Amino acid sequence: MSKPKKIVLALCAVAIIGVVVGYGYILFIKEDAPDALDAGDLDAALGADSETTVATEAPAATEAPTATEAPVATEAPTATEASATDGVDGVWNISTDSTLGYRVSEVLGGVDTEGAGRTNQVTGTLTIEGTAATAAEFTVQMATITSDSDRRDGQFNDRIMSTSEFPISTFVLTAPIDFGTVPAEGEPITATATGDLTLRGVTNSVTFEVTAQLEGGRIGVLGTIPILFSDYSIPDPSNGFATVKDNGLLEFVLVFDKD
């Protein structure tokens, strides 16, 4: 066999091995990206401390028949009504039961898949006055966002989001969110939010839908914000193996506790 043919065969073998390795990674090693955040995640996050609440109230339920504690039973509706009306006014702080991250569509070795990274390192506040959120802001420590791939995380922290230079991203509400009513316990309400989103040092105004829910003395907010990478000077995330679309989603479930 001539030398040129051997070189061609060697190159073909390398290419085939690369494809096999790529597909092997996708099919047998790569973990599936977590499902998109939805109402089920909102319920789960709000219920993170609900078992503790039930446990503390259980003795009152078993002892209700005693004559001396009858007033407790009659006062329970008043407490419930207060928590659903005047009790929502004020400043609420983001809890570590929150989740925030990104979601992108990828093509790895010719196979369509998704990449997602998440963190609970989110801080911020929400101010409620009557039926509206009059102020809100959150800050994310970008280097804490992780996915199922160290390689992806390395690219994310280095050339894509440059987390050493831009360690935080922020959102600040610029117009009140009017929910129209104070939600009943466990009843989701959808409204539109507008604010300034800052990623990689670039700020843009964004408008998106949020779903808010009051449950167990906590407020949960679910939402997604579409992101066009060029709007935030985010470099093309694609590389030799992965092809990434020019846009993605910032998704979140934020849980707030009363200040």
Q: Two tokens at 106?
A: 């990828």
User: Which sign, positive or negative, has the C-alpha torsion 183, 187, 188, 190?
Assistant: negative
* Structural domain contains residue 26: yes
Interatomic CA distance for residues 200 and 142, integer angstroms: 10
Q: Are residues 162 and 230 in the same domain?
A: yes
- Residue 139: CB atoms within 10 A of its CB come to 17
Map tokens 């009140």 to a residue: 176
Q: Are residues 207 and 245 in the same domain?
A: yes
pLDDT at 57: 41
Model confidence over 107-140: pLDDT tens digits?
877 788 899 999 999 999 999 999 999 999 999 9
Q: Are residues 222 and 130 in the same domain?
A: yes
Q: Two tokens at 236?
A: 């093309």
pLDDT at 19: 38
Residue 17 has pLDDT above 60, yes or no: no
Model confidence over 56-93: pLDDT tens digits?
344 444 444 444 444 444 444 344 444 444 689 999 99
CATH, residue 225? 2.40.128.110
Q: Mean pLDDT for the chain?
A: 81
Q: Are residues 5 and 42 in the same domain?
A: no
Confidence bin at 3 (pLDDT 50/70/90) = low
Residue 191 contacts residue 219 (beta carbons within 8 Å): no
* Structural domain contains residue 63: no
Query: Which distant-in-sequence residues (6+ apart) come within 8 Å of 220 by Cβ?
Result: 42, 45, 46, 212, 213, 253, 254, 255, 256
Interatomic CA distance for residues 101 and 156, integer angstroms: 12
Interatomic CA distance for residues 217 and 79, integer angstroms: 11
pTM: 0.74
Map tokens 């446990």 to a residue: 55
Q: Are residues 138 and 161 in the same domain?
A: yes
Q: Are residues 24 and 36 in the same domain?
A: no
Q: Are residues 134 and 11 in the same domain?
A: no
φ/ψ bin of 201: left (φ > 0), alpha (ψ from -120 to 50), beta (otherwise): left
Interatomic CA distance for residues 8 and 155, integer angstroms: 33
* Structural domain contains residue 252: yes
Query: Which distant-in-sequence residues (6+ apart) come within 8 Å of 221 by Cβ?
Result: 126, 210, 211, 212, 213, 252, 253, 254, 256
Q: Are residues 108 and 13 in the same domain?
A: no
Is 4 strand, coil or helix?
Answer: helix
Confidence bin at 183 (pLDDT 50/70/90) = confident
Higher model confidence: residue 84 or residue 158?
Answer: 158
* Structural domain contains residue 136: yes
Confidence bin at 1 (pLDDT 50/70/90) = low
Q: State how beta strands 189-199 and 202-215 pair.
A: antiparallel
pLDDT at 108: 77
Residue 249 contacts residue 225 (beta carbons within 8 Å): yes
* Structural domain contains residue 230: yes
Q: Are residues 113 and 13 in the same domain?
A: no
**Least confident window among 34-43, 105-114, 166-175, 229-238:** 105-114
Q: How far apart are the first and last CA of the chain?
A: 79
* Structural domain contains residue 65: no
Q: Are residues 25 and 101 in the same domain?
A: no
Q: What's the total number of domains in the chain?
A: 2
Interatomic CA distance for residues 51 and 49, integer angstroms: 6
Domain that holds residue 231: 32-50+87-258
Residue 182 has pLDDT above 50, yes or no: yes
* Structural domain contains residue 77: no
Residue 228 contacts residue 246 (beta carbons within 8 Å): yes
Q: Are residues 208 and 165 in the same domain?
A: yes
Higher model confidence: residue 1 or residue 228?
Answer: 228
